Amino acid sequence: MIIKDKKSQPVVFAVSDSIGETAELVIRAAMVQFNSDKVDIRKVPYVTDNEYVEDIIEEAKNTADCVIVCTIILPEVRQHLLSLAEQNQIPIVDLMGPMMDTFSKIIEVKPHLQPGLVHRIDEDYFKKIEAIEFAVQYDDGKDPRGLSRADVVLIGVSRTSKTPLAMFLAHKRLKVANLRLVPEVAPPDELFHLPPKTIIGLTISPEKLFDIRQERLKALGLSTEATYAQLSRIMEEIEYADMIMEKIGCPKIDVSNKAVEEIATSILEIIRKGEV
Amino acid sequence: MIIKDKKSQPVVFAVSDSIGETAELVIRAAMVQFNSDKVDIRKVPYVTDNEYVEDIIEEAKNTADCVIVCTIILPEVRQHLLSLAEQNQIPIVDLMGPMMDTFSKIIEVKPHLQPGLVHRIDEDYFKKIEAIEFAVQYDDGKDPRGLSRADVVLIGVSRTSKTPLAMFLAHKRLKVANLRLVPEVAPPDELFHLPPKTIIGLTISPEKLFDIRQERLKALGLSTEATYAQLSRIMEEIEYADMIMEKIGCPKIDVSNKAVEEIATSILEIIRKGEV
């Protein structure tokens, strides 16, 4: 089940009794600090019995440089992994154990201790799926009827991260429609009848947008001479977008040099404060 | 001592020197075990100096039932938070510290110790954004040209989680196109010229699909009498889809009663094994 590894590469085993999503995420967050693409992160999902634990320990013993990161919920299985790792001097980090113990101090109910619960199909799950489908359906102003049904409407010129932002916010259960602002196409009337607080304007510096669009054209194998990526055109689009945003009176976020996750955090902040 | 006030809501402070995404995710994964929607998760992002740490401790001291979960990368700031929490007997879980220390044992390079690095805008970031945009652009067979450019093509009848799956896989940097199979519309020729291993068929039990479609119609405020949600129609669609999948010879995954995250894991497994 576990494939043997090349000797030189450090290995992190992400051992979970569910699918191992959480472990992988935290490992990546830590790993990026080491600037190391050479580490092999190996997810070992569905580890729910002691026999499987023993297999993993055997494999780890045969791997030169390795660390185990464990997000096992089942206390017995987790304990077995922890003691075997210690016996065999394999470095191990227990992500869920200390957290569950600490939470028990403030929460009176007993934990379910049921692996995979985080992926259960419940109302919250359906909300997330619905939000993802909504973002796809109402991407790029495809259907103006989406505007009034959205929790948030993102507006901005082309290449201001509207689509990926809509998707990140969908994971937070927000229904997001997005609309591209272009001088040649007047926005649908619906936009001006929405509560201004449901709209967020994405702005960007002309220089940054110039770089992004030049790159975009290169990536598509097109000439960088196209109007789309000319500074005069970019200035015209940005001015037009600014004018629309002023008219609406919506909050604005400058997306230049920001990652989508950071912009999403700012948007959530605005929503929380303004109770959009 | 923390005086427990049973009437107040327990609070988890998710303290980060970046945006707090990682902390929130792990907290939710643990929290779901307690079946507790009543816990207030308060993200405290961008905590990069000792003064801010002291503010948080003050707030925690004034909060009856609380726990701090910390994903601070900066060693001094983290240490300050840990010691102040201990002094004030506030339960605290350090998520990044033990992991960084353990990784240092197998990785020779020194960590950057730079907050927010996980959200840096690099090649990998652009790959993810590109994959998200790809999934939106080639959703629901919108453009058959996407099929040959995709890393994975998902096929299946309506309501087999194709769109959300494409989005989850996009976060894993996979370009996914999806195509709905309907008896009345022959799939584009392109589909039959792809390597069968790039295609994954999503199957579902007729009973499950019946339930989902009935719910879907109700949610849309439509009559549940529609052909779309009738068992005979569902059987016909499923048989047709099966026939197409047999013809292609692609791997199949039964999505009945599975969460999107779980199906995505199965797909990644198939890809890894088959080296699609």
Is residue B247 domain-resident? Answer: yes
The phi and psi torsions of A10 (rounded to 5 degrees) equal -65, 145
Does residue B59 share a domain with residue B17?
yes
Q: Is A156 annotated as a binding residue?
A: yes
In whole numbers, what is the pLDDT of chain B averaged over residues? Answer: 91
Q: Which CATH number does the domain housing residue A87 bear?
A: 3.40.50.10660
Residues of chain B found within 8 Å of residue A132, distances taken between Cβ atoms: 163-164, 167
Percent of chain B with pLDDT over 90: 67
Q: Tell which of A103, A112, A160, A255 to mutate to test the B interface (max B CBs under 10 Å).
A: A103
- Count of domains for chain B: 2
Q: Smallest Cα–Cα separation from B21: which of A106, A22, A203?
A: A22
Partners of A201 in the β-ladder: A155, A252
The phi and psi torsions of A147 (rounded to 5 degrees) equal -60, -45
Which chain A residue has its CA at the smallest distance from B130's CA? Answer: A164
The phi and psi torsions of B147 (rounded to 5 degrees) equal -60, -45
The answer to ipTM > 0.85 is: no
d(CA A245, CA A252): 8
The residue to which tokens 């001097």 are assigned: A89
Does residue A165 share a domain with residue A86?
no
Does residue B67 share a domain with residue B150?
no
Q: Smallest Cα–Cα separation from A78: which of A92, A91, A97, A61?
A: A97
Asked if B32 and A265 come within 8 Å (Cβ–Cβ), the reply is no
Size of interface A-B (CB pairs under 8 A): 183
Tell me: the pLDDT tens digits for B189-222? 999 999 888 999 999 999 999 999 998 888 888 8
Measure in Å the smallest separation between the Cα of A205 and chain B Cα atoms: 16
Asked if A103 and B12 come within 8 Å (Cβ–Cβ), the reply is yes
The residue to which tokens 């494939």 are assigned: A3
Tell me: the pLDDT tens digits for A180-218? 999 999 999 999 999 888 999 999 999 999 999 998 888
Is residue B2 domain-resident? Answer: no
Question: Can you give the pLDDT at residue A276?
Answer: 44
Does residue B264 share a domain with residue B165?
yes
Does residue B107 share a domain with residue B179?
no
| Residue B213 DSSP one-character state | H
Residues of chain B found within 8 Å of residue A108, distances taken between Cβ atoms: 6
d(CA B131, CA B175): 5
Asked if residues A170 and A134 have their Cβ atoms less than 8 Å apart, the reply is yes
- As a whole number of Å, the CA-based R_g of chain B is 24
β strands within A73-222, DSSP E: 92-94, 152-156, 176-180, 199-203
| pLDDT (average), residues B95-116 | 89
Strands A199-203 and A252-254: parallel
Question: Can you give the pLDDT at residue B275?
Answer: 55
Does residue A113 share a domain with residue A47?
yes
Residues of chain B found within 8 Å of residue A32, distances taken between Cβ atoms: 117-118, 120
Give the DSSP H/E element, type plus range, for residue B216.
Answer: helix B206-219
HSE-CB at B105 with a 13 A cutoff on CA atoms is 16
Measure in Å the smallest separation between the Cα of A225 and chain B Cα atoms: 22
Which chain A residue has its CA at the smallest distance from B22's CA? Answer: A26
Q: Which tokens hold the place of A270?
A: 């605005």
Measure in Å the smallest separation between the Cα of A81 and chain B Cα atoms: 16
Strands B152-156 and B176-180: parallel
What does each C-alpha distance from A166 to A124, A199, B123, B246 come to in angstroms? 18, 12, 21, 36
Tell me: the pLDDT tens digits for B28-70? 889 889 877 778 999 999 999 999 999 999 999 999 999 999 9
In sequence order, which residues have a C-beta less than 8 Å from that of residue A207 and are 6 or more positions away? none
Measure in Å the smallest separation between the Cα of A150 and chain B Cα atoms: 15
Q: Which tokens hold the place of A166?
A: 């809509």
| Residue A159 DSSP one-character state | T
Q: Which residue of B33, B129, B170 is in closest CB contact with A113?
A: B33
Does residue A139 share a domain with residue A103?
no
Asked if B133 and A163 come within 8 Å (Cβ–Cβ), the reply is yes
| pLDDT (average), residues A56-76 | 95
Give the domain extent around A73.
11-119
In sequence order, which residues have a C-beta less than 8 Å from that of residue A143 and are 6 or more positions away? A137
Residues of chain A found within 8 Å of residue B161, distances taken between Cβ atoms: 129
Partners of B201 in the β-ladder: B155, B252
What does each C-alpha distance from B73 to A135, B102, B117, B188 come to in angstroms? 33, 14, 10, 50
Does residue B85 share a domain with residue B186?
no
